[in-house]
Structure 1
Amino acid sequence: MNPTPFIRHHSTQLIISLLLFVLLLPLIIHGLLWGWSAAGVISSLGSAALIALLTYRSPPLIIALTLVFWSIIQSVTVELVLAVGRMPSVTDAIYLVDRTMVQQSLQGNGLTHPAFLLAMLTGSLGLTGIRLLSRPTPRSLGFRNICLAVILLSPLHMITRQWDLAAPPWKQYDILHKLVVETTSKYIFNNQTTDIAWASVQARKLTSLDLQGTRLINQGKARNVLLIVLEGISGADIDQIREHQGYPSDQKPMPQLSALAQEYDAMHIPDFVVHNHQTIRGLYSLLCGDYPKLDFSTPKATELLTFKEIRTSCLPAQLANYGFSTHFLQAAELAFMSKDKVMPHIGFETTRGRESITPLPGEGDEITWGWDDKAFFSGSIQAIQQLQEQERPWFLTLLTVGTHQPYGAPQSYLERYPSPILAAIAFLDESASHFLTQLKEMGVFENTLVIITSDEARGNELRMGSAWGISMIIAPEHEELPAFKEGVYGHIDLAASVLDYFSLPMTPGISGRSMFRNYDQGREILSYTNGFNRHLNSAGNLEECNFQRVCREYDQGYRFNIPQAPELRRFSDTKAKKQFALVEALNRSVLQPDDEQNFLFANGDIRQLKPTVMNDWTDNLIGAQYLDFGKGTRTSVSLRITAVQTDNQGAALKLSLKEFDKDSSAQPPELPLLHTGEEMSINFDIDNPTGRRGFSFHLLGEGYGEIQIDEFRVNTRPITAPPAATNAPDATSSHAKKRT
């Protein structure tokens, strides 16, 4: 039986049915996963109406492209909200369709709701097929229909703009609505003037050092400092912190660590703020006592590499100046985000990563990003045993990676827990608790200040969960410290707190307060997570502004169960503009506006080749990520590589360029195949007439053996400036040169 006549006869009913299925399925799924709100339903219906206008009786190609895009962003929203507790942003929309990023994110555990994406794509392609078979006369969207869409959708937008602001954003907005409004709001705001002078004065106040409080202890008894940074852990994961905040939850993600914290008389900081997403930004703020940029432009930590001198104001450099040996150890490879360069630049004497860890037999395994948490802590115990034997006091920073997406946990844990992230947290809980027990048995707590914190917070169902970090302090004088330290603190306070604990003088550049002092007065503090700018103002009220520049003020401080706090008012006027002007002032680069940027990302660095390159992320051999190039500038790249040792197949090298993790329009030269003893060099320019943001270099090397990156330099200057000096041969060449 030929179905074509039936389809043609009933094409209108079939098209309407499938269109309703594809457009309304996300609304149903969202309600089942996290509940409905009035604003969210209106937003979803408005987005569905817009998609309907774009697809009904449109050419099949337009239908297919529109509905596939719709299906993907809806699926991405579900996965991102469930994984890290936030909605996609405009920049996410750019890179989440990138093949290598998707492969990296899905490796190991896959989609949590693949049936949703499959149903959406099936409905979309079915609708396109019926449209092809029915052969109605295509109609263009037309100016009249566009005007009709604007007239119909504008009132819906104004309703959701002011309604139900206390709900999490994924309950409040459909993703398409959010992306459109986010883009237009940024454009409108960027074309408005603000009080720059006022913002500069306020920013200086926020970045000043405040040691006016009363000491909890006279001077610390500890000799050493151990900073343990747990990837993405939230305050809601620790029983005592969660209960102190009055946050009811049946889940207890980290019961073992919570129990040990109570046994060891840890001092908790319940109101502990992480200032932004991304590990490198959290580490910079923790270790250098400064706000990170409250957006996703070039991290300040990366900008430090343009200076030849070590950043003496950062905590590792200051402790080294006072006689400490300083060490950084992480479970992942160091090259990503330039931690192999940044950490020595802020004063660490040794910086080690995945390649230097040798866990005991049977102690853990390797995962996507590096060593799992059990293996990492096994290797860390060995490092601490060596440090305990030396005469100098020591400062060691540890960074885990197992609770980073796509989450690393043994299969037995994945089978016991409802989601990969809960399995990874449970595995971290067991691994970290065993590690602390070993430290106790070794006597480390008797002479070491131990601080357990997080680089960022993955978020949860709480509106402010993505800004809620942890800070637990185990000190030799634990009996003199309270179980809960009242007051609001954040990443920015850690460096000052450690130096104040030892009563050490502080060089200019350290900001914040000491967690070892009591303060009579409140304080101001800011964060930017999940698309919300949050400002604890001088009156002790919390101001929270969303991506539409609509702000809400609460009469409760930086407490994280914010839906319980009464709302004082909403504003989107001059006060809102000042709020964002203050953020811009804090975001100012550590560079001067006219400074020439000269990054040296490699200088004689040895790198192991990968037998097979799986993706551009974990296999990247250099750490030149998320750079911003100004408008009207030229970026000159110089790369020199020597093949130290290869097999007969040689080293197959590739350099790829990305913007917001999507392939860039700029194309580098192809790199030649290298064998043992051979060298190559390339020099090329990238013009930035309109500027570039989130620019990354990915150097991939496939084969057996190792190469030496003799130089990888990235220099950006105004196009009118003279060419940058370089020691590389043929600086004006845009081709790869190879010699033996």
Structure 2
Amino acid sequence: MRTVDLRGVLADGSIGLAVLGLVGLLLLTRRWWGRALAWVVLLSFVLMTFALYEFVSVFDSLYALSHVGFLSDATFVGGSVLHLRHPILIGVMLVAGSVGVILAQLPRVSWWRGWAVALGLCVLGHAVMPMSHVYDGWRQRHAIHAQASLLPASAKLKSAGTVGAEVQEVFRADLSGKRWLGPLSDRPNVILVMVEAASGAVLPSLAKAAKLKSSASMPRLDALAKRHLLFSQVVAHQRQTNRGEYGILCGDYPKLLSDQSKMTEQVYGDARRCLPAALRDEGYTTVYIQAAPLGFMLKDQFMKKAGFDELIGDAWFEKSYARTDWGVDDKAFFEQAIERVVELHDRETPFFATLLTVGTHHPFTFPQGNVLEGGKDRRARAFRYADDALGDFLEALEERGVLQDTVVIITSDESAGLVDTQVSSVRLLAQSWSFAIVMLPEPEVKQVDSLYGHVDTALSIADLLGLENEARSFVGRSWFRDYESPRSIFGGNTYARRVIMWTPSEQAIVCDETFDDCKRYGMRKSKFNPKIEGKPAFPRERRLLAEVARLTRSGRAGMDPSDVMALLALDEASIAASDGKRLLTGGQYLRVPAGTILRVGFDIEVEGSDAEVELHQDVFLNGRERFARKAKRIADGQRWQLEYEIHVPTPSDQLVVQLYATTVSGEAATLRFRSAELSMRRGADADPRVNVLVDDVSTAAH
């Protein structure tokens, strides 16, 4: 066992022994309720420990309390939480814990002495053993230690002082470089494909050049990249899809610190002008296609505000070879999406289509029994499956003549890293490593190794199409221009709670979200393969990174009292009996200030021959259920009106309002939404109560 692992064992031991001591105290009550509480405490700890283990194995970082709200979202739970990697292990742990509490005898004095000695040794050993910046934080401390050491960034982060023109350069469009490509004539179509969580390391040639080994690969995509334009070092500015997509589509930095996403804020406020809206104003038909449900993360509303004319999500895909709550597998996704793309191509107007896959997201969706060469685990097999699906899609586009007048851009929404190394700095920076492949109607072959970012995507597409006025409304530089000098580029990692700056001098500055701990790393063969040992960052570097991080948070802080947010973008939805339980809205993750009264209202009518729908509506705050109406049955010709207020005396960063529907009678039902709204106003008292104003089923008026 290495020293770094010993420190982690001592951390886990100190927390585990503390919980065991609490269990012992509850047993000393000699009452049935004391033993029952001991059982609850121990099994809760077992479940939390197992959840941390699962989270680390997928996301390579400790679980942050800021993400607890995801546990209240049906799409997240059905898509990831219920697809455990080690189900037998948790079963054994729960049974062993239950049997242990049931059979446990009252702890004696000798037991308490041994417990105190063990706890003291663990706490002392953990305190005196220094942290190593070489290895991952999750190997050296328990999640509870990590949460206790990180105050919310908003509590500490203030203006870091002026750093002059450097900050101004970060947030403006830079078209000063010498153009080496474009502008293209005849207004070509544009297809933007985002492969869920793909890292630059999935392209074997890039991994080899960076002297890194990847746990997953896409060899067909790598071969394609060698025949077109390849941007090998592109920064993915944040983890999580909604943050990554916002930066790509809107040409603006996402928030670099853990906070409510800008995509969410755009829904209830004035929206930033994004690339789809700019292209729509230039005569393009705009379509957004994703495999996952559109209601999750408010995509149904954000994408409309961003400028997409048509939205296609999980419910649109009738065929699948494999399916989870996250959506259809990648092969089925591309096979059906191509038909819509060809229809768009056959029109007289140009189109902009954005496609987002989901098969390479945990639990990694592909048909059971599918065996692919080079797939060592589920994640690796999912990427090989996606590689074949994407390759077939591009070949079909060529066969059907779409590529003759279409630009295709392939990148990722975020990066999962996917490098095989125990060095924490390498793993962290790899989780910001993406790429971009650009296929032109008249193919050009070139590899560009200069550092760019996802934030440059919108500006680059507008620049390629000759829309310089539109390009100037975005942040960044054009991929298709050469610049005299490099620039600083910024990223964040909400899972690892880190903020990063790549400097023009080939350095990476890495800070925690409090900016108390900042290290400077030199680079080796790649901008994402730093040297193992970091040195303390210079004060000016820390100030610049802190100031940029602060300014990326300068969007709206929360809903104003006058704001009313639509919870559904649809006027109606068709729910087939075969759909099962379907999520209609959820995943908002809104910030609610203390002293707020929430008002939620739904007015829904049901139509359909002999149809009956079972509706489920609930509200969660910080992962805790505050309101629920379960199994509310509404028949054909009936109308359900529900309106209530929730008093929120303490602040919350995780408000989720959900509505599910299941057709329980008849083949299908149509739900018509007369209203579905959320509003906030000040005035909550200390009593966190719920007031139901209307809960009525009546005959619908026609």
1:82 to 43, 57, 60: 57
1:377 corresponds to which residue? 334
1:542 corresponds to which residue? 508
Task: State whether residues 4 and 135 of structure 2, in contact with CA within 8 Å, keep that contact through their aligned partners in structure 1.
Answer: no
**Cα offsets for 1:525-578 (capped at 9, x unmatched):** 22222322112245442111236742211123994553535533258x897577
Distance 1:126 1:382, change over 3 A: same
Counterpart Cα distance in 1 of 2:465 and 2:73: 48
Task: State whether residues 134 and 533 of structure 2, in contact with CA within 8 Å, keep that contact through their aligned partners in structure 1.
Answer: no
2:696 corresponds to which residue? 737
Task: State whether residues 508 and 521 of structure 2, in contact with CA within 8 Å, keep that contact through their aligned partners in structure 1.
Answer: yes
1:468 corresponds to which residue? 433
**Cα offsets for 1:682-736 (capped at 9, x unmatched):** 222222222221211110112241211221111123339xxxxxxxxxxx96231
Letter in 2 for 1:485: V
Distance 1:607 1:597, change over 3 A: same
2:650 corresponds to which residue? 690
**Cα offsets for 1:152-176 (capped at 9, x unmatched):** 7367346443x2x1223333x23x2
Task: State whether residues 73 and 93 of structure 1, in contact with CA within 8 Å, keep that contact through their aligned partners in structure 2.
Answer: no
Counterpart Cα distance in 1 of 2:15 and 2:56: 23
Letter in 2 for 1:301: M
Task: State whether residues 198 and 414 of structure 2, in contact with CA within 8 Å, keep that contact through their aligned partners in structure 1.
Answer: yes
Offset at residue 470 of structure 1 (A)? 2.6
**TM-score w.r.t. length of structure 2:** 0.85
Counterpart Cα distance in 1 of 2:382 and 2:264: 29
Q: How many residues align?
A: 668
Distance 1:343 1:160, change over 3 A: same
Offset at residue 184 of structure 1 (A)? 3.5
Alignment of 1:405-420 (within 5 A): 405-413=362-370, 417-420=375-378
Letter in 2 for 1:88: Y
Task: State whether residues 407 and 421 of structure 1, in contact with CA within 8 Å, keep that contact through their aligned partners in structure 2.
Answer: yes
Alignment of 1:324-723 (within 5 A): 324-357=284-317, 364=321, 366-413=323-370, 417-460=375-418, 461=420, 462-479=427-444, 481-482=445-446, 484-507=447-470, 509-529=473-493, 530-531=495-496, 532-537=498-503, 539-546=505-512, 549-556=516-523, 559=526, 561-564=528-531, 567-569=534-536, 576=542, 579-580=545-546, 582-590=548-556, 596-602=562-568, 605-609=571-575, 611=577, 619-623=582-586, 625-645=588-608, 647=610, 650-660=612-622, 662-664=623-625, 666-667=626-627, 672-703=632-663, 704-719=668-683
2:89 is the alignment partner of 1:113? no
1:246 corresponds to which residue? 211
Secondary structure at the residue paired with 2:519?
A: strand
2:246 is the alignment partner of 1:276? no
**TM-score w.r.t. length of structure 1:** 0.81
Counterpart Cα distance in 2 of 1:521 and 1:210: 12
Letter in 2 for 1:168: D
Distance 1:620 1:100, change over 3 A: closer
Secondary structure at the residue paired with 1:463?
A: helix
Distance 1:599 1:151, change over 3 A: farther
Unaligned runs of 5+ in 2: 28-34, 421-426, 685-690
Secondary structure at the residue paired with 1:652?
A: strand
Letter in 2 for 1:457: S
Distance 1:63 1:198, change over 3 A: farther
Task: State whether residues 270 and 485 of structure 1, in contact with CA within 8 Å, keep that contact through their aligned partners in structure 2.
Answer: yes
Counterpart Cα distance in 1 of 2:506 and 2:562: 41
Offset at residue 268 of structure 1 (A)? 1.8
Letter in 2 for 1:631: A
Counterpart Cα distance in 2 of 1:150 and 1:585: 44
Distance 1:209 1:58, change over 3 A: same
Counterpart Cα distance in 2 of 1:593 and 1:672: 30
Offset at residue 430 of structure 1 (A)? 0.9
Offset at residue 621 of structure 1 (A)? 0.8
Distance 1:154 1:712, change over 3 A: farther
Offset at residue 418 of structure 1 (A)? 3.8
Distance 1:592 1:91, change over 3 A: closer
Counterpart Cα distance in 1 of 2:322 and 2:17: 49
Offset at residue 501 of structure 1 (A)? 0.6
Counterpart Cα distance in 2 of 1:624 and 1:68: 28
Query: Percent identity of the aligned residues?
Result: 24
1:170 corresponds to which residue? 138
Name whichever structure is richer in strand by fraction: 2
Task: State whether residues 325 and 395 of structure 1, in contact with CA within 8 Å, keep that contact through their aligned partners in structure 2.
Answer: yes
Distance 1:199 1:599, change over 3 A: farther
RMSD: 3.6
Secondary structure at the residue paired with 1:327?
A: strand
Letter in 2 for 1:556: M
Counterpart Cα distance in 1 of 2:74 and 2:334: 33
**Cα offsets for 1:422-460 (capped at 9, x unmatched):** 222121111111111112222333321110011112233
Secondary structure at the residue paired with 2:635?
A: coil
1:257 corresponds to which residue? 221
Offset at residue 94 of structure 1 (A)? 6.9
**Cα offsets for 1:615-670 (capped at 9, x unmatched):** 7xxx311245211112232222221111122635x22212111234x233x22566
Secondary structure at the residue paired with 2:361?
A: coil
Letter in 2 for 1:259: A
Task: State whether residues 603 and 676 of structure 2, in contact with CA within 8 Å, keep that contact through their aligned partners in structure 1.
Answer: yes
Unaligned runs of 5+ in 1: 1-35, 721-731
Distance 1:220 1:37, change over 3 A: farther
Offset at residue 140 of structure 1 (A)? 8.8
Task: State whether residues 210 and 525 of structure 2, in contact with CA within 8 Å, keep that contact through their aligned partners in structure 1.
Answer: no
2:12 corresponds to which residue? 47
Task: State whether residues 46 and 153 of structure 1, in contact with CA within 8 Å, keep that contact through their aligned partners in structure 2.
Answer: yes
Counterpart Cα distance in 2 of 1:288 and 1:654: 34
**Cα offsets for 1:99-136 (capped at 9, x unmatched):** 985554254xx43334443454455445434533x563
Task: State whether residues 342 and 402 of structure 2, in contact with CA within 8 Å, keep that contact through their aligned partners in structure 1.
Answer: no
